[in-house]
Structure 1
Amino acid sequence: MSVEPVYLDHAATTAVRPDVVDEIATTMRHLGNPSALHASGRLARRTVEESRERIAQALDARPSEVIFTSGGTEADNLAVVGGFRARRAADPQRTTVAASTIEHHAVLDSAEYLLEHEAATVRWLEVDGTGRVRLDVASDLLAEHAAELAIISVMWANNEVGTVQPIRQLADLAQEAGVPVHTDAVQAVGQVPVSFAKSGVDLLSLTGHKLGGPVGTGALLARRDAQVQPLTFGGGQERQLRSGTLDAAGIAGFALAVERSVAERESNAHRIGALRDRLVKGALDLGIGVEVSGAYTAGETTDRLAGNAHLRVTGCEGDSLLYLLDAAGIACSTGSACTAGVPRPSHVLLAMGIPEEDARGALRLSLGHTSSQDDVDRFLAALPAAVTRARSAVDASRRSSA
């Protein structure tokens, strides 16, 4: 009898919740374009607007602030590129984008695009050794460049090492300087408390497939006075900021996933955090040269995401470890799945000051709502052999090149 693989890559995507599947299937049976004026269209529109209200309530936002997108990447692009263009159009001297050095590539590449194609200046916010944005650096940046800053983007929680950022403090600094703030909260929603109203940020991105919802659903929360230019045209269905026929069924599933993940956040953080601690302690106790990246204290789930365990194994290549563990039935990653297949050290680890050689042996283990003690134990049982073989491969490669 085949053994079910162990899935430890929930930060990349997690299992769709069974009740979400049912919600989507039920809604898909009703035909209608939400923009149509007939009864079928009005029924679809009702589903969309009720879903908008449910998401707003779960995240302490107003329904009018919820703009549906195809996911976190589109929401990040709309916030960074659209926010930059709107601010520059209103004030031509605002030609600068600021972002932390550990952002997801949806933000980093948006900033790089503006640098290369729209003559923007990009300024980077440095982080400390745990991956936490330095408030003194942010304060200095705002003091020196507030008049030219169009937008600042800092993720709420890092997708690789799980470090939670001081978003409220950053937003307060930016607000005093008159600079809007965007936060990528894709990893944060459902894992730490997220209140859009209390956060102080102007724009917030989230996605469905990290929460037990369907891939291809997401939202940008945008305050009513946020300045954003649309990136797509052809209907203006979402507050004239995003065009395209709305997927009523996907949105209904997304709303339910947001509700469930937020409602169960505290209990899940306790359970999943305990599994993470079991994994980290077990890996360290193996005595095979494992180190933990990022802010980590056993039992703590506010400075670091409860489901994130980021390990570095000395003398190994992370890609080799990934493939060896995969062959043993363990699914994990070396970093963001959006940059999978690129054999280079993580920009997040390098920004944290970790030497390139140490950063190469990285493994991101992320737990979710379906994770169990058996998953952790099977990973720990498979790790020593994978490390031995990965180190042997490195040694053989060095001998052949000598």
Structure 2
Amino acid sequence: MKAAVRTDDALAEVRAVTREHADTTDREARFPIEALDALRNRGFLGLVVPSEYGGLGATPAEMFTIAAELSRDCMSVGMIFAMHCQQVMAVVEHADRRLRTALLPRIARDQLYLASVTTEAGKGGHLLTSQAELTRDASTLHIDRFAPVVTGGAYADGFLITMRAPDARSGSDVSLVYADRTQLDVSAVGDWNPLGMRATHSIPMKIVGDIPADQVVGRHGAFRDIAVRTFAPLAHLGWASCWLGTADGALARTVRMLRDTRQRRDLNSELLLHRLSQARQRLDTVHALIQHATDVLAAGVADISTPRVQLLLNAVKLTASKECVAVVDDLIELAGLRHGYLCDSALKLERALRDLRSASLNYGNDRLHAADGALVLMDRDVRHV
């Protein structure tokens, strides 16, 4: 990574800004503008743009690490960053040379923030289908799209949007297109008042506009390949990294509180030591699983579309979504009513628990287990990668 020497200091600055505003953005369900500006000012929105296009040329592994670190202070900021990088990587890996050459230097130079538009009412979060039809004439694609959830959409400079491909034969013929905000009429059509993840400001939006026909990412109708090879792996590993970072931060704050001599806690209590041991074991397990899956992808020796690789990636999401929230729930029990349960506690366990409760719902675990069951039947030799 070209900027490795300065990344630690830059990240510390962004984290300080994130911490300063985290309580306010959570309380008001407000997008973390200050944290996004800090990410921009330090060049992080161009993190995964290859150096030949003016970016920092970071690997996915480095992106996962930074997302986890941001999530120690505010999981919403970590998720916003990880999802932006996912969008950029889709352009890097699947756009044709003309679109890459036109867009990637702008992301690196102008620090454009990209939002994802994949949700639709009535399809139950199914990523690989679309109801909204992308129409076209000789040189123009016409977008008319409603999305019930668009993370940071009110503040995005550009959007990657899934729609049914022109001349599609079924709802699974889905295209991915890039649109600048200046090419669209974007309007909020609802509010965002959730239990957790409040600072993601994931409001429902109506998006209408015309874009040049060459702003399709990959081939028309070929979004499934983009999803399997880029969207899903980066989503599962990026989300899991954020969940792990949030739980890591919660445990770190709790340990510091326990070691504070003013608290007068019995650090020899077998129950306390057992709970700390179990929390750390859970987090180390999630970390190891993320690291293994990241290494498998980086090695490039396995076909990412095979059942065993898909099972591994799904296992990352399923395991992290379950174990990280369990850790924070146990830490609240350990810390007690005053330090663990109160909203104004310095440990911030209450906010971490609310944020992590979304993990199993973010592409629902029940849906993923159903898909995994079919994949297990396909991998009859039960081999691991």
TM-score, normalising length: structure 2:
0.26
Larger helix share, 1 or 2:
2
Which structure has more relative contact order (CA 8 Å, sep 6+)? It is 1
TM-score, normalising length: structure 1:
0.25
